[in-house]
Amino acid sequence: MNIYIVFLSLEQQYVGLVPIRRGDDSMQSKVYAFYKEKNKDTGFYSEMWLPYVTRVCMEDRGGMKNHLEFSWTSQMNARLFCGDPGSRQHLSELVDVATVHADQWQNTRIYALFRNEWGMSAVCVYSIQDIENIFTTSTFKGKVNHPGRSRQCVADSTKIPSEALKMIMENSEMEEWVQPINNSGPLLFNHHSYTHIYVDSSQNNDPTVLFLSLNNGGIHKVMQSKTQTFVIAEYRPFNHRAQVLRMVMNGSSRKLYVHSRSELVQLDVANCAQYGNNCGDCVLARDPYCGWNGTHCTPDGKLQDVTQGDHSICVSTSKLQQPGKVFRYSTDIHEDEAKVSITLPPESKYFLQCPVSSHHAQYTWRHPESNTSCSSTEQQCLLLIDSMGPEQVGTYTCVSEEMGYSR
| 218 — pLDDT class (breaks 50, 70, 90) | very high
Average confidence (pLDDT) over 262-278? 90
Average confidence (pLDDT) over 160-181? 91
Say what the pLDDT of residue 378 is: 59
What Rg do the C-alpha atoms of the chain give, in angstroms? 28
State the Cα–Cα distance between residues 240 and 134, nearest whole angstrom. 44
Query: Widest CA span of the chain, in angstroms?
Result: 100
CA distances in angstroms from 317 to 48, 299, 406, listed in the order given:
53, 19, 11
Helix H or strand E segment including 135? helix 128-137
Q: How does pLDDT run across 342-374, given as a tens digit for each residue?
A: 878 887 888 887 777 666 777 888 888 888 887
Tell which residue, 127, 30, 20, 115, has the closest CA to residue 72: 30
* Domain architecture of the chain: domains with CATH: 12-191 (2.130.10.10), 274-313 (3.30.1680.10), 324-406 (2.60.40.10)
| 122 — pLDDT class (breaks 50, 70, 90) | very high
State the Cα–Cα distance between residues 98 and 277, nearest whole angstrom. 34
Say what the pLDDT of residue 405 is: 66
CA distances in angstroms from 103 to 25, 30, 133, 182, 230, listed in the order given:
15, 16, 19, 20, 27
- Is the bond preceding 345 in cis, omega lying within 30 degrees of 0? no
| 123 — pLDDT class (breaks 50, 70, 90) | very high
Q: How does pLDDT run across 39-70, given as a tens digit for each residue?
A: 888 777 778 899 999 999 999 998 887 778 88
Q: What single-letter DSSP state applies at residue 27?
A: G
State the Cα–Cα distance between residues 269 and 220, nearest whole angstrom. 11
Examine the pLDDT at 333 and tell me if it is beyond 70.
Answer: no
Average confidence (pLDDT) over 279-303? 90
